[in-house]
Amino acid sequence: MALSYLTNWKFANEKVMGRMEEGVEMLKWKPPCLGRVKLNAYAAFDEGNNVMGLGWVLRDDDGRFLAAKRMCVLGKYEVKEAKAVCVREALSWMKGTSIGDVDAETDLQLVYYALCSDSFNSVFGFIIDDVKDVASMIDGVDFYFVKRSTNRASHTVAREVVSMSSCGQWFDDPPLYLVDCFLSDLTN
């Protein structure tokens, strides 16, 4: 099990690092404005095992780690639905923390545009309505679209679920596998 975990972890990180080496412009994560927190959410897929990994990371306006969570969801979703469900789950989890003034970022433009538009009738539309309902219960939630390269930490958390098939959450101190992501995000 440990060997499988290590292999999957290396594979996920080599893909991210390989893109950086190919000369693709990698944008960096940026902290939110003073007094706000930033929530990055990501959904990863393991189609062979019919599993999705949802992961999110919460950081303050200095870029300090506040919390992270990963969870496993059985089933296959379309990418847009999975990303929207991940944002909904992250906001539902935040509801219990009494943290407000949140910049919630997604790296799928379609989800961002749906969150900023009127309701529409479809499965995806109903999920988006759920996200909006949960967001309305938290003070000061704003949605943003970001490039995937700025969402690296939440991507790593979500990939961990797929490789480990387990849930977990952390407060104040990040899991060791995220430390390099945070250091990279905070250096120029």
When mean pLDDT is compared across 80-89, 112-121, 127-136, the lowest value belongs to 112-121
Question: Over the Cα atoms of the chain, what is R_g?
Answer: 16
Alpha helices for the chain (secondary structure H) = 2-21, 79-95, 109-115, 123-136, 152-164, 179-186
pTM for this model (two decimals):
0.78
pLDDT at position 16 is 45
| pLDDT tens-digit series, residues 117-154 | 988 888 899 999 999 999 999 999 999 998 877 777 77
Q: Which two tokens stand for residue 106?
A: 């997604």
User: How do the domains of the chain map onto residue ranges?
Assistant: 2-12+36-186
Architecture field, domain 2-12+36-186: 2-Layer Sandwich (3.30)
111-14-71-109 Cα dihedral, nearest 10 degrees: 0
Residue 91 CA to residue 104 CA, distance in Å, equals: 8
pLDDT exceeds cutoff 70 at 3: no
